[in-house]
Every structure is written in structure tokens, then in C-alpha cells.
């Protein structure tokens, strides 16, 4: 390639990169604002701004990628997406938003063929029906782009041009140009009815995506130390991310990256040898590992001789001495049993693969990094910079001055294992915000060392800290840290109290009551966590979680049982409804039915969004939106009409079908959130 062209390309790339990072910064700011409640117009606006910025960012990032890979080869024109032409070809997993993006990509592409990667910005229109159902807001951005090319135009003119080129689609009833140049899109009712019918008849299916191998590193408590509320958040968020990706049929590997290989094991083993010399034949009574840890730590800090022995123990352990490995295993077992209790309560499936798993790989990784000149000597240690020229940020400590390895070393070996052996496509780490810099550095170093390819990233799903109701660090009344198991037991107790308070113990059988108690207790803890924007700190309050009004698990579980009971009262079996659906299909006549129907069709778009940004509160908001739309529908539309004596005189089959689809969608969302539903409570 000619030098001049190369320089130009580079200039553009760096400009785009700067723009992208500026946008990313803005996005981060937006993301920190809590958008967790719905309905406020300003928030809607912000959210839609957010969408636009995200889209811009995506476009710019794509441009960077394309530019850096374009070399001298002329870029192939992007393949036009294929659009639906026939309602009957549409299945239950149809994603309206994706189709609209495709439609407008075609429209904008033919209205402005000279614009490279024009922004395709489609958002929901919000609550006012006069703005249509969705809107395309690309005109403003395109007018700007044209202005930069000295083309005189205005957004309204652009909007009209786009409209003229928009292909007809069975998805769209009509499009109107409005205001400054918005394109308001009205959906075609028959298509919505058709998709609802397919969901009803063939079930909920995931929207199609390219299958990826995703490694999700979550929970990851440390052996012999406490599993604390931070680990609880990681467990809940991580499990839900896995469930969502599994629903999309990705190949998900759930990894518990246990802290099972640090210096602390030296002192624990040394202490074990003194206290329980026959640990190899008898299980040592260290059920209270915390206390055991504290004792050994005390000796370690106070007794020089013990300290030396402890260090020697680490060396023996890490070199694989069978006696030391046996002692270490005993200690790990005790911790694991404790962790397992929590996982059993919360129904968490996870594979234990702690730091120790990487011992040999750490040796190999250190060798690789050393031989390829990535390490620098620094006062006896070996460090690695993400960027050796700027020395920005902080370096990783790969080898300590005593020759030992660190958390950094293990994460470098870990990412290498996940790329090379697991052949992962996506690497997700659910860990508190305090570790973010660590993961940023791991990513930079892994890229620098060629372990991660340029398009691969370390996705650190960060979350804020858990606060008590006094907004201070979550502690017991006496000021101790809270044991997770105690927290869960309290949840169970409080949930039962709540059910009894509502007189449910008189209506439900003991088994039903216990099921409801567990669903509510575990559900409320999970939902409270997941329904808040995870980057924010969140206040742990059983009172709030167990409130049956507002956006809580209790409210949603009740709403769901109520919906389920509608069909029960009507005494219409699912088979009878199905037969009816085959005959008549769906008809959305009442305004409230139509509104609910449109909300129900948004699952694919919400799922795809969350799979991308891993913010689960959007899914919770959607769930709450379904239940609000349902309430409005149920207030306004009879499903079953009865006479004065309570005898059923008329059954509205389509409405019962709508109830069924609503219930199934809510169940699916709750399932992804890891929340069990009950048929009665
Ligand atoms: N690959 C990782 N570093 N995963 C996160 C580990 C979390 C760590 N054990 C902690 O308790 O904070």
C-alpha cells in the first residue's frame, strides 16, 4: 500500500479510536446512573441516548476493526440482510428489533449508498402511542455526516429520503416522519398475532445466534477464608449470566476459580501438622476453618520459627510433595463442603477449578513470557507491563522476589488455558469492581503476549458492594461480618413469616408451603441483586425484598400464580386451548390486548441485549413490564364471564391464550434469573 494511504488510514483509525473511547467514557457514565425504575420520561430519553451512543460506538469499533484489517484489499460491499416477506415464515423466536435494523439498513443503504457504515438507530417509542411502536432515529446523525461532507440537507429531508427507500415489510403497518426527523414505526397487528400464536403452539425458542464457547468465571471464594456477600453477588449474577447464555444455546463452561493456592496454605498446613499430626488417617476436626485460619495467622505473625516453616511448607506444597498435598486436600475439602451448602440452597451448578489447577501452567507461562522478552526485572521480581512504552497503569507481578507466583501469575496462566485448551470465544469474569484494574491489566498483558487475539477481550462483569440498611458496609448487629449461611437461613425464616402473615399456611399444604417458602426466600435474595444496575452498590434489606408491591420477586411470583389460576378457574385445559388456537389463532381486539401482545414479543430483543452487555436488570425491568401490561389487560378485559351465581357464561379463549403466553414468558425470564416458580402460594 502506498505510504500516504497508509498514513491516512492510520490517522482515521486513531481518530475513530479516540471517538470510540470518548463515547465509551460517556457510556460508562450513563451506565452508572441507576435506570432501574421504569416510566420516567427523562430516563426513557437517557436510555434512548444510551442506545444511540452504544450503536455509534459499535459502528466506530467496527470501522476500526475493518480499517485495521483492510490492508490493500478493497473492501467487499456488505451483504444486504435478507428480509422477511411472508408472515407465515416467521417463527416464535422472531426478533422485531433485529428485523427493523435490517429493514433500515437496506433503506439507508439505498438512500445513501456513499455513506460508509451509516448509523442504524432503532429504539422503542416509549409510552405515547402517537409516536408509534418503535422509531428510527438515524436521520439526525446522517444529516450530520452529510454536512461534514458539505452536502446541504436537514434531518427531515433525510427522514423522507429514507422513508422513500424503505422496503415494504409484513412487520410494518405504517411509518410516519415526525418532529425533527424521527421515523415513527407502527407494527402490523397480524404479525404480532401470528408470533404469539407460534409461541403458544410451539413454545418459546431462543433467537438464533452464532454458537460460542463461553467461559464464565464466577463465585470463586477463597479456601479457609470466608465466603462473603461479594461472593454471593458474584454467584447470583454469574449463574444468571450462564443461564441466559445457555438459553441461547451457547457452549457455557461454569468455572469456580477457587482461591486454593496461596501463601496462606503454608501456614495452614504447618498449623495442621502441629495440631492434628494424624490428619492423613483421621479427618481433622476443623469444621470451623475460620477459627483455624485465625489461629494459624496469629502464629504466623508472631512466631518467626513458625513463619519460616510456613514458607517452607508452601514450597513443598507447590512442588507436589504427597504429604503436603494430602494436608492441603483436607483443608480444601472442609471449605468446599461449606461452599456447597450455599450452592445447594441457591441451586448453583459450577465446576471447581481453583488456582492450584494452573500450577504447571504457571511454570510454563512464566517460561513463555520470560523467553519472549515480556518480563522486566524490578528489585528482584519480574513484572510485566500492559504497555512497555508508556508504563501506563500498574504492572503485573509475575514472579515475586522469593521466586513465588501471585494472583497475577495465576490469571495469566488461566487466560492462556482458556484460550488455548478450552478454545474459548468469550471470557467472562464476574468479580467485584475492586478487581477491575487487575482484569484490565490481565487483558492488556495477554494481548501483548499474543495470548488473546486482537478481537478477544476479558469481560469483567463488575458489581458494587453490598450495604446494610444503614448504608454502611453490611455487618451483623454486633459488627461481625455476615455468614452467608446465616443470611440464607434468615431469608427462609422471614419468607415463612411473610407467608404466614398472609394466612397462606391455612390454604397451602405443608409441602406447598415449604416450596413457596423456598421460592420466595431464594427468589427474593436473587431478584433484589439482579434487578439493580449491578455497577451500583446495593442495600440489602429483607423488608424491601419481601414487599409484595413493587418490582420484587414476591410481587412477580404472586402475579404469576394469579395468572395461572385464571385458566384453572375457567377449567379450560391446555389441550382445549391449543385446539382453539389451531382453529382461530390469536386475535388482539381490545387496546389493552394489543399493548400486552407487543410487550410479549420483546423477549428476543431483551435477551440479545443482555447477552451482549450482561446487565441483567434489563431483563428484570422487562419482566416487571410484562406483569404491568398484564395487570392493565386483566383490569380491562374479562377472560371469563360469570353470572350472579358464579356460573361461567362466557369464555374468551384468545384472552386465556394471552394469559398462557404471558405466564410462560414470565416463567422463562424467572428461570433465566435462577428463580423457581410455584403453582400455588
Ligand atoms: N480468575 C479470577 N481471578 N477470578 C476471580 C477470583 C476471585 C477471588 N478468589 C476473590 O475472592 O476475590
Question: Please, which pLDDT band fits residue 488 given cuts at 50, 70 and 90?
Answer: very high
257 lines ligand 1 (CB under 6 A): yes
For ligand 1, the distance from its centroid to the CA atom of residue 234, given in whole angstroms, is 10
Q: Are 591 and 547 in the same domain?
A: yes
Beta strands in 434-522 (DSSP E): 458-461, 466-467
The three cell numbers locating residue 243:
443461564
Q: In what order do the strands lie in the sheet with 376-378?
A: 376-378, 381-384, 396-399
429 C-alpha to ligand 1 centroid (Å): 8
Ligand 1 centroid–CA 233 distance in Å is 13
In this structure, are 415 and 379 located in the same domain? yes
Q: Is the distance from CB of 154 to CB of 170 less than 8 angstroms?
A: no
259 Cα: distance to centroid of ligand 1 (angstroms)? 7
Q: For ligand 1, atom 3, which residue shows the shortest CA distance? A: 411
Same domain for 116 and 155, yes or no, is yes
Distance 388 CA to ligand 1 centre (A): 26
**How big is the chain by its Cα radius of gyration, in Å?**
29
Q: Does residue 623 share a domain with residue 546?
A: yes
Residue found by looking up cell 464476574 in the block: 430
At 585 the pLDDT is 84
Q: Annotate 381-426 with DSSP letters as a single string.
A: EEEE-SSTTT--S--EEEE-TTS---HHHHHHHHHHHHHHTS--SE
Distance, CA 347 to ligand 1 centroid (Å)?
21
Nearest atom of ligand 1 to the alpha carbon of 259: 9
Indicate whether 336 belongs to any domain: yes
Query: Domain of 94: which CATH number?
Result: 3.30.1360.70
The CB-side HSE value for 170 (13 A sphere, CA atoms) comes to 15
CA-nearest residue for atom 7, ligand 1, is 220
Among 226, 229, 257, which residue has the most ligand 1 atoms within 8 Å of its CB, making it the best to mutate?
Answer: 257
- Spacing, Cα 355 to ligand 1 middle (Å): 9
CATH at 376: 3.40.50.620
Predicted confidence at residue 73, as pLDDT, reads 46
Q: Is residue 638 located within the same domain as residue 498?
A: yes
In a domain, 67, yes or no: yes
Q: Measuring CA to CA, which residue among 658, 523, 533 is closest to residue 598?
A: 658
**Statement: residue 237 has pLDDT above 90:** yes
Residue 499 belongs to domain with CATH number: 1.10.730.10
> What confidence category does residue 367 fall into, taking pLDDT thresholds of 50, 70 and 90?
very high
pLDDT at residue 591 above 90?
yes
- Residues 580, 608, single domain; the answer is yes
What is the CA(520)–ligand 1 centre distance, in A?
29
Q: Which residues contact 296 (CB under 8 A, 6 or more apart)?
A: 267, 268, 270, 271, 310
Q: Give the three-state DSSP class for 185.
A: strand
Answer yes or no: do 298 and 359 share one domain. Answer: no
Range of the domain at 270: 264-343
Do 145 and 53 fall within a single domain? no
Residue with CA closest to ligand 1 atom 11? 221
User: What is the pLDDT, as a whole number, of residue 70?
Assistant: 43
Same domain, 398 and 499: no
Alpha carbon distance 201, 278 (integer Å): 64
Residue 431 Cβ contacting ligand 1 at under 6 Å: yes
Residue of 649, 642, 655 lying closest to 590 (CA atoms): 655
Cα–ligand 1 centroid distance for 490 (angstroms):
27
Highest mean pLDDT among 29-43, 62-76, 303-317, 413-427: 413-427
Residue having the nearest C-alpha atom to atom 10 of ligand 1: 221
293 CA to middle of ligand 1, Å? 19
Q: What percent of the chain has pLDDT over 70?
A: 89
CA–CA separation, 318 and 301 (whole Å): 22
Cβ 414 under 6 angstroms from ligand 1: yes
- Reduce the DSSP state of residue 250 to 3 states and report it: coil
28 pLDDT band (50/70/90 cuts)? low
Whether 238 is in a domain gets the answer yes
Q: What is the mean pLDDT of the chain?
A: 90
CA distance 513 to 333: 34
C-beta separation of 226 from 342 below 8 A:
no
**Is residue 538 assigned to a domain?**
yes
Q: What angle do CA 325, 341, 553 make, to 5 degrees?
A: 145
Q: Residue 37: is its pLDDT beyond 50?
A: no
Between 20-29, 453-462, 505-514, 650-659, the lowest mean confidence (pLDDT) is in: 20-29
- Which residue among 261, 350, 424, 431 is best mutated to probe the pocket of ligand 1, counting the most ligand atoms within 8 A of its Cβ? 431
Positions of E strands within 486-559: 538-539
**Is residue 533 domain-shared with residue 664, that is, in the same domain?**
yes
- Total tally of structural domains belonging to the chain: 5
CA–CA separation, 581 and 585 (whole Å): 5
Contact 593 CB / ligand 1 (< 6 Å): no
Q: Is the residue at 426 inside a domain?
A: yes
Q: Which of 503, 494, 561 is nearest to 524 (CA)?
A: 494
- Measured distance CA(429)–CA(219) in Å, rounded: 9
137 lines ligand 1 (CB under 6 A): no
259 lines ligand 1 (CB under 6 A): yes
* 431 CA to centre of ligand 1 in angstroms: 6
For residues 379-397, b (16+ Cβ closer than 10 Å) or e, as one string? eebbbbbbeeeeeeeebbb
Element (H or E) spanning 429, and its range?
strand 426-430
CB-ligand 1 contact for 220 (6 Å cutoff): yes
Contact 394, 445 (CB under 8 A): no
Report how far residue 648's alpha carbon sits from residue 571's, in angstroms, rounded to the nearest whole number. Answer: 10
Distance CA 446, CA 439 (A): 10
> Pick from 343, 375, 404: which residue ends a domain?
343
Which cell goes with 237? Answer: 449474577
CA of 367 to the centre of ligand 1 (A): 24
pLDDT of residue 232: 97
Same domain as 113, residue 27: no
Q: Evaluate whether residue 195 is within a structural domain.
A: no
In the reported structure, the alpha carbon of residue 279 is separated from the centroid of ligand 1 by a whole-number distance in angstroms of: 29
- The answer to whether 665 touches 204, Cβ cutoff 8 Å, is yes
Q: What are the tens digits of pLDDT across the range 273-322? A: 998 888 877 777 777 788 888 999 999 999 999 999 999 999 899 889 99
18 domain residue, yes or no: yes
CA 432 to centroid of ligand 1, rounded, Å: 9
* C-alpha to C-alpha distances, 150 to 13, 82, 378, nearest whole angstrom: 22, 32, 55
For residue 201, give the 3-state DSSP assignment: helix
3-state SS class at 452 = coil
Q: Is 411 in the pocket of ligand 1 (CB under 6 A)?
A: yes
- Of 187, 212, 236, the one marking the end of a domain is 187
What ipTM was estimated for this complex?
0.99
pLDDT bucket at 30, cuts 50 / 70 / 90: very low
Q: For 183, left (φ over 0), alpha (ψ -120 to 50), or beta?
A: beta
Cell of 495: 419468607
Is residue 193 within 8 A of residue 170, CB to CB? The reply is no
Give the atom of ligand 1 at the shortest distance from the alpha carbon of 430. Answer: 5
* Ligand 1 atom showing the smallest separation from residue 414 Cα: 1
**Of 435, 438, 460, best ligand 1 pocket probe by most atoms within 8 Å of the beta carbon:** 435
pLDDT digits (tens, 9 = 90+) for 97-115: 999 999 999 999 999 999 9
Q: Could you tell me the pLDDT band of residue 336, with boundaries at 50, 70 and 90?
A: very high
- pLDDT of 55: 52
- Pairwise pLDDT comparison (213 vs 53), residue with the higher score: 213
Residue where one domain finishes, among candidates 54, 76, 98: 76
Nearest atom within ligand 1 for CA of residue 225: 11
Give residue 53's pLDDT band: very low, low, confident or very high (50, 70, 90): low
CA-CA distance, 500 to 493, in Å (whole number)? 11
Q: Are residues 331 and 384 in the same domain?
A: no
Q: What is the C-alpha to C-alpha distance for residues 575 and 251, in angstroms, rounded to an integer? A: 34
In a domain, 170, yes or no: yes
CA distance 591 to 597: 10
pLDDT digits (tens, 9 = 90+) for 185-231: 999 999 999 999 999 999 999 999 999 999 999 999 999 888 999 99
Amino acid at each position: 500500500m502506498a505510504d500516504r494511504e497508509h498514513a491516512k488510514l492510520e490517522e482515521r483509525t486513531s481518530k475513530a479510536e479516540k471517538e470510540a473511547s470518548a463515547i465509551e467514557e460517556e457510556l460508562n457514565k450513563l451506565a452508572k446512573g441507576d435506570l432501574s425504575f421504569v416510566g420516567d420520561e427523562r430516563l426513557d430519553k437517557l436510555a434512548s441516548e444510551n442506545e444511540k451512543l452504544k450503536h455509534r460506538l459499535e459502528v466506530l469499533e467496527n470501522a476500526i476493526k475493518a480499517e485495521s484489517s483492510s490492508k490493500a484489499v478493497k473492501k467487499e460491499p456488505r451483504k444486504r440482510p435478507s428480509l422477511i416477506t411472508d408472515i407465515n415464515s416467521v417463527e416464535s423466536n422472531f426478533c422485531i428489533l433485529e428485523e427493523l435494523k435490517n429493514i433500515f439498513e437496506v433503506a439507508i443503504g439505498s438512500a445513501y449508498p456513499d455513506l460508509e457504515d451509516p448509523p442504524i438507530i432503532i429504539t422503542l417509542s416509549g409510552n405515547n402511542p402517537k409516536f408509534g411502536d418503535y422509531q428510527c432515529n438515524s436521520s439526525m446523525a446522517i444529516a450530520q455526516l452529510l454536512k461534514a461532507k458539505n452536502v446541504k440537507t436537514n434531518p427531515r429531508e433525510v427522514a423522507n429520503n429514507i422513508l422513500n427507500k424503505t422496503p415494504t415489510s409484513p412487520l410494518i403497518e405504517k411509518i410516519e416522519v415526525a418532529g425533527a426527523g424521527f421515523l415513527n414505526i407502527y407494527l402490523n397487528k397480524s404479525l404480532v398475532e401470528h408470533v404469539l400464536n407460534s409461541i403458544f403452539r410451539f413454545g418459546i425458542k431462543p433467537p438464533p445466534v452464532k454458537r460460542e464457547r463461553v467461559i464464565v468465571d464466577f463465585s470463586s471464594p477463597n479456601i479457609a477464608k470466608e465466603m462473603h456477600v461479594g461472593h454471593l453477588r458474584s454467584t447470583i449474577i454469574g449463574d444468571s449470566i450462564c443461564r441466559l447464555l445457555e438459553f441461547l444455546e451457547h457452549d457455557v463452561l461454569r468455572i469456580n476459580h477457587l482461591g486454593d493456592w496461596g501463601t496462606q496454605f503454608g501456614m495452614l498446613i504447618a498449623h495442621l501438622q502441629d495440631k492434628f499430626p494424624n490428619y492423613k488417617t483421621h479427618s481433622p476436626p476443623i469444621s470451623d476453618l475460620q477459627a483455624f485460619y485465625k489461629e494459624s495467622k496469629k502464629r504466623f505473625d508472631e512466631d518467626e520459627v513458625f513463619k519460616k516453616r510456613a514458607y517452607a511448607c508452601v514450597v513443598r506444597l507447590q512442588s507436589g510433595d504427597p504429604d503436603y498435598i494430602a494436608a492441603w486436600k483436607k483443608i480444601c475439602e472442609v471449605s468446599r463442603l461449606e461452599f456447597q451448602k450455599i450452592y445447594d440452597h441457591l441451586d448453583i451448578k459450577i465446576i471447581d477449578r481453583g488456582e492450584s489447577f494452573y500450577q504447571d501452567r504457571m511454570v510454563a507461562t512464566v517460561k513463555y513470557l520470560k523467553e519472549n522478552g515480556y518480563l522486566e526485572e524490578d528489585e528482584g521480581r519480574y513484572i510485566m507491563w500492559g504497555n512497555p512504552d508508556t508504563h501506563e497503569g500498574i504492572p503485573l507481578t509475575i514472579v515475586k522476589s522469593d521466586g513465588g507466583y501471585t494472583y497475577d501469575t495465576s490469571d495469566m496462566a488461566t487466560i492462556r488455558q482458556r484460550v488455548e485448551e478450552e478454545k474459548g470465544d468469550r471470557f467472562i469474569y464476574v468479580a467485584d469492581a475492586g478487581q477491575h484494574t487487575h482484569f484490565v491489566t490481565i487483558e492488556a498483558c495477554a494481548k501483548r503476549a499474543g495470548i488473546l487475539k486482537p478481537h478477544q477481550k476479558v469481560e469483567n462483569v463488575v458489581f458494587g458492594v453490598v450495604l446494610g440498611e444503614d448504608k454502611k458496609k453490611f455487618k451483623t448487629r454486633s459488627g461481625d461480618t455476615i455468614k452467608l449461611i446465616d443470611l440464607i437461613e434468615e431469608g427462609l425464616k422471614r419468607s415463612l413469616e411473610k407467608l404466614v402473615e398472609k394466612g397462606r399456611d391455612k390454604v397451602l399444604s405443608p409441602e406447598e408451603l415449604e416450596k413457596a417458602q423456598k421460592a420466595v426466600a431464594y427468589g427474593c435474595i436473587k431478584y433484589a441483586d439482579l434487578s439493580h444496575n449491578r455497577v451500583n452498590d446495593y442495600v440489602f434489606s429483607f423488608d424491601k425484598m419481601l414487599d409484595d408491591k413493587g418490582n420484587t420477586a414476591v410481587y412477580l411470583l404472586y402475579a404469576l400464580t394469579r395468572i395461572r389460576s385464571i385458566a384453572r378457574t375457567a377449567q379450560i385445559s391446555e389441550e382445549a386451548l391449543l385446539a382453539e388456537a389451531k382453529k382461530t389463532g390469536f386475535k388482539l381486539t381490545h387496546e389493552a390486548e394489543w399493548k400486552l401482545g407487543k410487550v410479549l414479543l420483546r423477549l428476543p430483543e431483551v435477551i440479545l441485549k443482555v447477552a451482549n452487555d450482561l446487565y441483567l436488570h434489563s431483563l428484570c425491568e422487562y419482566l416487571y413490564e410484562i406483569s404491568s401490561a398484564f395487570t392493565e389487560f386483566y383490569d380491562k378485559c374479562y377472560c371469563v364471564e360469570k353470572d350472579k351465581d358464579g356460573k361461567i357464561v362466557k369464555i374468551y379463549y384468545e384472552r386465556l391464550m394471552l394469559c398462557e403466553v404471558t405466564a410462560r414468558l414470565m416463567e422463562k425470564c424467572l428461570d433465566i434469573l435462577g428463580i423457581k416458580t410455584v403453582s400455588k402460594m
